[in-house]
Amino acid sequence: MPWGKGTVVTGAKGFVFLAGNTATADDYDPFKKGGGGAVGDAAVQWHNILTNIKSDLEELGTSLDHLVRLTFFVKGPFPSGGVLSSPNFCQDVMDEFFAQHCSKHCSYNNPPPSEVIGVAALAHPELVIEIVAVAAVPD
């Protein structure tokens, strides 16, 4: 999997730092321990999160085209010891999503720099992925 080495940002009037995005049900409330937890299996969670990130960026005046960095928190297990061996790491879903919505960020093109971090747990036991995104706001 090719990794982006860095992103040079010129002509931006600012940046958007999105909070960690997970695929929880709309009525999920982690503090009251109520409502629905994660929605779907790993692939569904990845797709829902990427769709939410796209929507959030557009709402805040930017787009997937202006992604600067992505951070992935992937829940285990890690069968061969590395995070990329987790069945919860879905590069194929990410590539399909970007091929449809922003092909320049597919792993085989020029993806934004990213980190993939393995974790034992996320905010809800059914969550398997959390994604943090940073994007530039164009002039």
pLDDT per residue rounded down to tens, the chain (139 residues): 455 667 778 888 999 999 999 988 776 666 666 666 667 799 999 999 999 999 999 999 999 999 999 999 999 999 888 998 999 999 999 999 999 999 988 888 878 899 999 999 998 888 999 999 999 999 8
pLDDT confidence of residue 1:
45
pLDDT given for residue 37 in this prediction? 65
Per-residue HEC secondary structure of the chain comes to: CCCCCCCCCCCEEEEEECCCECCECCCCECCCCECCCECCCHHHHHHHHHHHHHHHHHHCCCCHHHEEEEEEEEECCCCCCCHHHCCCCCHHHHHHHHHHHCHHHCCCCCCCCEEEEEECCCCCCCCCEEEEEEEEEEC
- Residues comprising the chain, all counted: 139
Domain boundaries, the chain: 12-138
- The pLDDT of residue 120 is 95
User: CATH classification of 12-138 is 3.30.390.30, yes or no?
Assistant: no
Give pLDDT, residue 125. Answer: 85
Query: What pLDDT, on a 0 to 100 scale, did the predictor assign at position 109?
Result: 84
